């Protein structure tokens, strides 16, 4: 805990107190999972699982903490956290030889909307225009390039990408015509419609790119496989619970993010579209991660994609009767 307090942590999303008890003798095990922010689809999914005690049913007192992406791997190696939801960072670190592995996909498709100004009727109208992204060589930049290329434009020559930072800044720039399109997340794409913005594409419809999942150290995967399996089971049950509980999930996320019901509904509608069906990293998704990693500069030189992932325990859980 002392090291956790030194991260810029940032923020506890779950109360910390005495662990609940299973039966009369053995306490539920507290485990720490670090996430990049409270408003990602992955974090919202896991918080909803906590809301229904799905992790406690597997004997886990899940403590969710927010930590910067650049400390994701370090906190695992130091044992300050047992799990990270920063799937891409861990995947790339594993390929580079750091002893961590991503073992389950949660969000399997790009959770972005490609939104344009009112006068932009199609992607072809974007030729010679400016596109706002969070920053260059990031997932939003990569997603914008893939979307542009999907509709026949040259993503390297036909448009200009501007690094504008936060979603609010991108929205303001779009409204003021400083840019003509931007990558936005729900519910920000709805706010753009207030000034006539056009939602040209939900990028997840054309891009399978894992943006969240679970990872841990090679040591924990090897020495405590049952702990990993308990985490996997609880997460798979969370997938199922979200699909079964639309109105409850919308109400819960509305409270978490301080959104009105329309905005919370938009967030909910995107989450099922981006959530993996079974947690497996597909060949297409792996190819996308490698391509994105090379663009982002996270991967250089010879690449062995298998070094960053270990789905063996997930596959064992998927063979259990409940999940077949």
Residue range 119-127: mean pLDDT, rounded: 96
Question: Mean pLDDT across the chain, nearest whole number?
Answer: 88
CA distances from 19 to 28, 52, 56 (A): 6, 17, 10
Q: Give CA–CA dist 218/230, Å, rounded.
A: 17
Percent of the chain predicted with pLDDT > 90: 64
What number of CA atoms fall less than 13 Å from residue 53's CA on the CB side? 6
Cβ distance 92 to 308 under 8 Å?
Answer: yes
User: For residue 301, what are the contacts with CB-CB under 8 A and spacing of at least 6?
Assistant: none
pLDDT at 27: 74
Percent of the chain predicted with pLDDT > 70: 92
Give the bridge partners for 35, in sequence order.
Answer: 66
Centre a 10 Å sphere on the Cβ of residue 2 and count the other Cβ atoms it contains: 6
Report pLDDT digits (tens) over 43-72: 889 999 999 999 999 999 999 998 877 787
User: For residue 121, what are the contacts with CB-CB under 8 A and spacing of at least 6?
Assistant: 198
Q: Residue 74 burial by CB count (10 A; 0-12/13-18/19+): exposed, middle or buried?
A: middle
Report pLDDT digits (tens) over 267-309: 888 888 899 989 999 999 999 999 988 887 888 888 998 899 9
pLDDT band (50, 70, 90) for residue 238: very high
Give the bridge partners for 212, in sequence order.
Answer: 107
Q: Residue 194 burial by CB count (10 A; 0-12/13-18/19+): exposed, middle or buried?
A: exposed
pLDDT at 198: 96
- What is the pTM (predicted TM-score) of this model? 0.83
Q: Give CA–CA dist 83/2, Å, rounded.
A: 17
Residue 187: asked if its preceding bond is cis (omega within 30°), the reply is: yes
Helix-, strand-, coil-residue percentages of the chain, each rounded to 5 = 45, 20, 35
> What domains are there in the chain, each with its CATH number?
2-109+209-323 (3.40.190.10), 113-205 (3.40.190.10)
Assign 76 to helix, strand or coil.
Answer: helix
Cβ distance 107 to 210 under 8 Å?
Answer: yes
DSSP state for residue 321 in the 8-state scheme: G
Cβ distance 107 to 216 under 8 Å?
Answer: no
């Amino acid at each position: 805990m002392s090291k956790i307090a030194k991260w810029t942590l940032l923020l506890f999303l779950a109360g910390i107190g005495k662990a609940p008890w299973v039966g009369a003798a053995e306490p539920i095990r507290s485990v720490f999972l670090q996430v990049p922010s409270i408003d990602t689809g992955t974090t919202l999914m896991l918080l909803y699982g906590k809301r229904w005690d799905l992790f406690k049913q597997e004997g886990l007192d899940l403590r969710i903490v927010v930590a910067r992406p650049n400390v994701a791997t370090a906190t695992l190696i130091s044992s300050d956290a047992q799990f990270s939801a920063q799937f891409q960072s861990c995947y790339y670190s594993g390929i580079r030889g750091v002893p961590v592995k991503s073992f389950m996909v949660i969000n399997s498709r790009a959770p972005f909307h490609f939104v344009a100004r009112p006068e932009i009727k199609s992607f072809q109208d974007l030729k010679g225009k400016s596109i706002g992204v969070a920053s260059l060589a990031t997932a939003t930049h990569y997603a914008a390039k893939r979307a542009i290329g999907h509709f026949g434009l040259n993503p390297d020559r036909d448009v200009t990408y501007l690094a504008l930072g936060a979603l609010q800044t991108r929205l303001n720039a779009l409204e003021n015509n400083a840019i003509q399109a931007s990558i936005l997340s729900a519910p920000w794409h709805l706010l753009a419609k207030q000034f006539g913005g056009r939602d040209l594409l939900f990028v997840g419809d054309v891009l399978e790119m894992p943006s969240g999942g679970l990872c841990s150290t090679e040591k924990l995967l090897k020495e405590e496989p049952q702990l990993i399996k308990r985490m996997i089971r609880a997460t798979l049950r969370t997938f199922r619970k979200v699909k079964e509980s639309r109105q409850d999930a919308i109400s819960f996320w509305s409270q978490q993010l301080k959104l009105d019901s329309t905005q919370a509904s938009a967030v909910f509608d995107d989450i099922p579209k981006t959530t993996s069906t079974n947690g497996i990293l597909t060949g297409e998704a792996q190819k996308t991660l490698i391509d994105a990693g090379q663009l982002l500069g996270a991967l250089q030189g010879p690449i062995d994609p298998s070094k960053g992932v270990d789905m063996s325990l997930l596959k064992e859980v998927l063979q259990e009767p409940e999940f077949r």
